[in-house]
A and B are shown apart, each in its own frame.
Chain A
Amino acid sequence: MTVWIAIVGASVIAFALKFAGYTVPPSFLEKPRVSHITTLLPAALLAALVVMQTFTTGSQLVLDARGAGLVAAIVALLLRAPFIVVVVAAAGTAAALRAFAGWA
């Protein structure tokens, strides 16, 4: 029973947090200063997601096969490879290093 309380409680709060973002009036978001900030946000959020996804495990900074995968992705981007090739290059590099070189 306590597990159900935890699941439902966490789900209700999670949904409320998601929903809250959509309750801000558009007029506020259209102000020049606010819209300047919101055009800068994607770069910040995406950069942070790259860091979190690649270099962290829980609360630890780590360097493992994901880092090599990221390098492979950047090389693919420099070569103007399409999106899917970039993703596969990252995955393939990490998978190969783990399988054949014993990387974490």
Chain B
Amino acid sequence: MATPSDPARRAVIRQGLSVAVATGLYGISFGALGVASGLTIWQTCVTSLLLFSGGSQFALIGVLGGGGGVGAAIAASSLLGVRNTLYGLQLTPTMAPRGLWRVPVAQFTIDESTAVSIAQDTLPNRRLGFWVTGIGIYVGWNVMTLVGALVGDAIGDPKQYGLDAAASGAFIALLWPRLKSRQPVAVAIAAAVVAAALVPVVPVGIPVIAAAAVAVVFGLLTRKRTTDAQQPDGTIL
């Protein structure tokens, strides 16, 4: 059945898979670094399976590898995980998980699955984007963690292939279509400035939360403007 939504769905799948490939390959870094930090191969792989949140995982092994205590390692990891709560809030109307179904939905809730999901226009595509990206990264990240733990740095740093920049490109491409009316543009600029300004002075993980706070404050000070594009002279504040 050739419905207009088919190309759109294929586009969502392509987006999800390309983000999953770029991010999943980074599992090599985690696997190699985990073993280098003194974890066993088994411990490194279990961390990716259970914790499954890149920033939190690197923080955990960073503190453990640096000789820090269990409490400090858990605290650093958890601080980075707070933003996932916010993502769950944002995704609740989309995913509307009930009962035990909330378990896989929660586990797959990370930066990338949220980013791909919220960038879509329709509810089915938002759900599709979440699952394709979340499951794709879960599989890729865990397989590549094992590969990295086994072969160490033999494959080389993913940076040399520009995979870190690939993620930058993916995020800006997801943001781009939203920058068509004034309010999101203003919010995006303010959020970017606030996040950047806070990076040197607050713990890692907090700038994204502060960026969300920018949207909250902006939302409290403004009204919904569904006709924003047709009202160029309207006031924002």
Contact = CB atoms under 8 A, between A and B. Distances in A.
**A complexed with B:** yes
Interface of A: 2-11, 13-15, 17-22, 24, 26, 29-30, 32-33, 35-56, 58-61, 65-66, 68-70, 72-74, 76-77, 82-84, 86-96, 98-99
6 contacts: A47-B187, A49-B111, A59-B203, A70-B169, A72-B169, A82-B11
Interface of B: 11, 14-15, 18-19, 22, 38-39, 43, 46-47, 50-53, 56, 60, 64, 70, 73-74, 77-78, 81-82, 84-93, 95-97, 102-103, 105-107, 109, 111, 114-115, 118-119, 159-176, 178-179, 183-185, 187-192, 194-196, 199-200, 203-204, 207-208, 210-212, 214-216, 218-220, 222-224
A89 B220 contact: no
A35 B84 CA distance: 19
* 5 closest Cβ pairs, A-B complex: A21-B88, A90-B169, A69-B165, A37-B219, A48-B211
A19 B208 contact: no
A1 B84 CA distance: 28
Contact of B95 (A22, A54, A70, A72): A22
A68 B166 CA distance: 11
Contact of A29 (B93, B211, B216): B93
A13 B111 contact: no
Contacts of B111: 49
Given A21-B109, A69-B162, A43 B175 contact: yes
Contacts of A98: 159-160, 162
Contact of A45 (B14, B47, B114): B114
Given A18-B88, A50-B168, A87 B173 contact: yes
A45 B109 contact: no
Contacts of A17: 78, 81-82, 84-85
Contact of B161 (A19, A46, A91): A91
B43 to A, nearest CB: 6
B50 A11 contact: yes
Given A66-B168, A73-B172, A7 B51 contact: yes
Contacts of A6: 60, 64, 70, 73-74
